[in-house]
Amino acid sequence: MTYDNKHFLINSPILEQFKQKFFKAAELIKSAISTNVPITIIHHADCDGFCAGIALEQAILPLLLEKLGSERSVQTLYSRHPSKTPFYDYADATRDVNQFMNNIQRFKNKHPLVILLDNGSTAEDYYALKKAKIYGATTIVIDHHYPGPMKEGTCKNDPYIDIHINPHLIGDDGHFSAGMLSAELARFINHETKNLPLIAAVSAIADKITGDALEQYVHKTGKHFHDLKRIGHALDYEAHHLRFNDGRYTVADILGAHHERQRFLVEEINEMLDEKISKYKIAAKKFMKLSKIGNITLVELDTHKIIPHGEYPGPGKLLGYTKEELLRDQHQPIICLGYGDFSLTFRADNCDFDANKVIKHLQEALPHAHVTGGGHAHAASIRFAALAKHEVLEETRKYIKEHSS
């Protein structure tokens, strides 16, 4: 299936407000292809990030191959790097800058186009973006995380971003994932790109996106929601084991590039996951602490002492499964806190809760705790000084009690 490249895949006023930015981003990428500008894609190494990366990769690579004539030539001008951190890390920027400056000096390459997907908008991205810009990189950011304080549709990072697409910049939160936005951009780059509704839907379901946009993408796939969710589970598990590998072939197959391999991978991985996760759910039920704050159920779980370091699922995923299990029997306001020695993960549902406001409060109330992090209103994570663990947890409980509704 191919798509007309003058319109979005779905009807959305949010997308329409970004239409000129989508056009400009697509033209910038196509210009890079036609003028031999190196393209580097950096994305979060989770289901949403990989969906975003694969969507653009499948749009870009055929055009590069047509222009350059060989895979070897394509590899000199294109790369994609998954990032384990949910932001453009300064260490990664240092790696990228030294690599592209070396290529400029040795091979007379041009300064690159860096495309950040599912990261790039937050305060934690700031110094990495600034470094890349100082060394001459052109940057596109496609993200859906809260960028911090905004003024007239711009945020702190914007001076170092050439094109920035993030629904928060126009006041929207929770209706688009990076994979959804990247699927739309891929379509403007190359209207022959396949499987874009599926990529968009899988990314959205994996990132707990809700709303009309998701429903339109799901309808366009012709698949049931449950089947798309299983594809997302398989991709997230694959992403965990890929670590820093781009997974070009297996990830593309899970997303439908090869239907027979897709069926095998999705079935086999979900069979493994069902057994693994059921065991961890039993452990979570045994060790979680439940309390009531008004009509809100507060769940606390030392996630790092249930799952060995490096095992799947990670703390956030385990907390999400715990929340879903508790919500299975009844529709209730719930806030889940998953903690370790120097980290805290938030998950919430059915209540007026904004993790980013909690994080801002912790930073102001406990400056010695060195609280960093962020995310979405109902799904976020922070890191802090290990010695401040008990203070952070107590201050978080206090904040929830004072602001519960």
Query: Would you state the pLDDT for residue 173?
Result: 82
Contact 30, 140 (CB under 8 A): no
The reply to whether 4 falls in a domain is no
Q: Of 202, 232, 266, at which residue does a domain stop?
A: 266
Contact 104, 110 (CB under 8 A): yes
The reply to whether 343 falls in a domain is yes
Long-range contacts of 97-101 (CB under 8 A, 24+ apart): 97/131, 97/132, 97/135, 97/137, 100/38, 100/40, 100/135, 100/137, 101/135
The reply to whether 3 falls in a domain is no
104 with 158, same domain? yes
**How many folded domains does the chain comprise?**
2
191 with 59, same domain? yes
The reply to whether 274 falls in a domain is no
116 with 224, same domain? yes
CATH code of 57's domain? 3.90.1640.30
Tens digit of pLDDT for each residue in 226-281?
999 999 999 999 999 998 899 999 999 999 999 999 999 999 999 999 999 999 99
* Per-residue pLDDT band at 309 (split at 50, 70, 90): confident
- Cα distances from 257 to residues 110, 182, 223, 245, 252, in angstroms, run 32, 17, 16, 18, 5
261 with 332, same domain? no
The reply to whether 313 falls in a domain is yes
The reply to whether 2 falls in a domain is no
**Amino acid letter, 79:** S
292 with 258, same domain? no
Contact 334, 350 (CB under 8 A): yes
The torsion angles phi and psi of 154, rounded to 5 degrees, stand at: -130, 160
Six-digit token pair at 155?
Answer: 């945020």
Tens digit of pLDDT for each residue in 26-35?
999 999 999 9
Average the pLDDT over 295-310 and give the result: 93
The reply to whether 46 falls in a domain is yes
* Per-residue pLDDT band at 5 (split at 50, 70, 90): low
336 with 259, same domain? no
204 with 246, same domain? yes
262 with 315, same domain? no
Give the DSSP H or E segment for 299: strand 296-301
Tens digit of pLDDT for each residue in 91-111?
999 999 999 999 999 999 999
250 with 324, same domain? no
Residue range(s) defining the domain that contains residue 232:
13-266
Q: Of 204, 235, 266, at which residue does a domain stop?
A: 266
* Residue located via tokens 């959205």: 204
The torsion angles phi and psi of 346, rounded to 5 degrees, stand at: -110, 140
Crossing angle of helices 259-287 and 315-327, rounded to 10°: 80
Tens digit of pLDDT for each residue in 339-375?
999 999 999 999 999 999 999 999 999 999 999 999 9
250 with 387, same domain? no
pTM recorded for the entire structure: 0.95
350 with 249, same domain? no
CATH code of 309's domain? 3.10.310.40
Average the pLDDT over 188-194 and give the result: 96
What value does the mean pLDDT of the chain take?
95
| Residue among 356, 362, 312, 320 at smallest CA distance from 337 | 320
The answer on pLDDT for 1 being more than 60 is: no
The answer on pLDDT for 2 being more than 80 is: no
Query: Would you state the pLDDT for residue 405?
Result: 58
Q: Of 236, 266, 296, at which residue does a domain stop?
A: 266
Burial-class residue 212 by CB neighbours within 10 Å (0-12, 13-18, 19+): exposed
The reply to whether 104 falls in a domain is yes
* Per-residue pLDDT band at 329 (split at 50, 70, 90): confident
73 with 150, same domain? yes
